[in-house]
Amino acid sequence: MRALEHSRKDTRPAVKRPANRLYPGGVSVKIRTLSAAATHGAYGYAAQKDKLLKRLARAEGQVRGVARMVEDDRYCIDILTQLAAVNTALEGVALAILDDHVKHCVAGALSSGDDADAKQKIDELLAAVRRFAKTR
């Protein structure tokens, strides 16, 4: 989980914290979401946040389904097929967020005239693309 943490200080507005979710095998995860007012214009994906959350919830359901398949001793190829579907779903979400990041965050930094901010956004973009490419 540490790989998901970001090194910069989180300056986002206050969050709503739902109850823990319990996954198969006893893994508990807290999911935090920002209100629509708190995210308006904050990040590139803010305009389609609800759509992205629905896609992520669908992928979450697929993962739970795969866990049930393993618990039920289902055929290996069937499980692998469903895992490929989960990966495809998550890649779609990642590409949507990456697209919004380029169009909003990176484009904004480039047009701002702030060379340091533009360089930082370009470096972050390249690092994200490299991480994304490694998973393929």
How many whole angstroms separate alpha carbon 101 and alpha carbon 104?
5
pTM of the predicted model as reported, rounded to 2 decimal places: 0.65
As given in the structure block, the two tokens for residue 136 are 């393929």
Per-residue pLDDT tens digits of the chain, which is 136 residues long: 334 434 444 444 554 544 455 555 554 445 454 444 443 457 888 889 999 999 999 999 999 999 999 999 999 999 999 999 999 999 999 999 999 999 999 999 999 889 999 999 999 999 999 988 886 6
Q: Domains of the chain, with CATH numbers?
A: 2-134 (1.20.58.1000)
The predicted structure's pLDDT at residue 31: 47
The predicted structure's pLDDT at residue 91: 93
User: Residue 110 to residues 2, 95, 117: CA-CA distances in angstroms?
Assistant: 30, 21, 8
Helix ranges (DSSP H) in 44-114: 49-71, 76-100, 107-112
Those residues with Cβ within 8 angstroms of residue 88's Cβ, 6 or more apart along the chain or in another chain: none
Those residues with Cβ within 8 angstroms of residue 76's Cβ, 6 or more apart along the chain or in another chain: none
